[in-house]
Amino acid sequence: MSLSSRSLSEFDYEATLAGCAAGDRAAMQRLYTQEGARLLGVVERIVRDRALAEDIVHDACVNIWTRAASFERKLGSARGWIYSVARNLALNAVRDGHREVAVDDETAAALDARASLEAWHDMADAFAWQDSAGRIGPCLEQLEPVRRNCILHAYVDGLSHGEIARRLDAPLGTVKAWIKRSLAALRECMA
């Protein structure tokens, strides 16, 4: 962990993306060597299929290469942009594969009205999230474990609202509300 963290801070993602934008293949190869395994890990966790995950990382590399010039450094980090390309392809692949039954929020809220939130208060953490670096750590800690699990199941496992509800055996409307409020809390905490 410490080794890869150090290499994260030593690797110049912005310069590497600039190299890709300029057509420097060596820059693309450096990026692949640096992030290929991590990108594949992230994508495979979402799509749960190795062959499809490799297809998506391939597409992500080609997209990164062709769209590197469109990266706007003032909006965020180069590494964040690289991961967004791969995650979006992976999320599109799993979301397009399932047509979720839409339940409007009010109906869901009514259905959930009798559901008690108490049962989830002392739920165990599903992720060793404390290892994750960065400013989000202390902010995640402020969330109740069950809400933290919702966020992590969504981001890391690529689960939809419905899938999270089934995984946690919690009502759909409750999961939606938890995620909405948790995102607002995280944003406020990290401001």
184 binds other proteins (CB under 8 A): yes
Told to check if 11 binds other proteins by CB under 8 A, we report no
169 C-beta neighbours (distance < 10 Å), count: 8
Q: Looking at beta carbons only, is 119 or 184 nearer to other proteins?
A: 184
* Identified binder of other proteins from the candidate list 6, 48, 166, 187, rule CB under 8 A: 187
CB neighbours of 85 closer than 8 A, spacing ≥ 6?
60, 63, 64, 67
Q: Of 10-18, 101-109, 116-124, 166-174, which segment contacts other proteins by CB under 8 A?
A: 101-109
Minimum distance from residue 156 beta carbon to other proteins (Å): 5
Per CB under 8 A, the segment of 10-18, 111-119, 151-159, 166-174 that binds other proteins is 151-159
Residues 29-58 that bind other proteins (CB under 8 A): 29, 32, 36-38, 40-42, 44-46, 50, 52-54, 57-58
Report d(CA 153, CA 64) in Å as an integer: 26
Cα–chain-centroid distance for residue 107? 28
**DSSP state at residue 144:** -
DSSP assignment of 75-87 equals TS-HHHHHHHHHH
DSSP of 51-73, one letter per residue?
HHHHHHHHHHHHHHHHHGGG--T
Q: Supply the DSSP symbol for 177.
A: H
CA 138, 142, 144, 147 torsion-angle sign: negative
Residues 84 and 71 sit within 8 Å (Cβ to Cβ)? no
**By rule CB under 8 A, what string of x and - marks binding of each residue 60-99 to other proteins?**
-xxx-xxx----x--xxx-xxx-xx--xxx-xxx-xxxxx
Tell the smallest beta-carbon distance from residue 126 to other proteins (Å): 10
> Which one of 16, 27, 161, 165 is in contact with other proteins (CB under 8 A)?
161
Q: Does 107 bind other proteins (CB under 8 A)?
A: no
Number of residues engaging other proteins in binding (CB under 8 A): 79
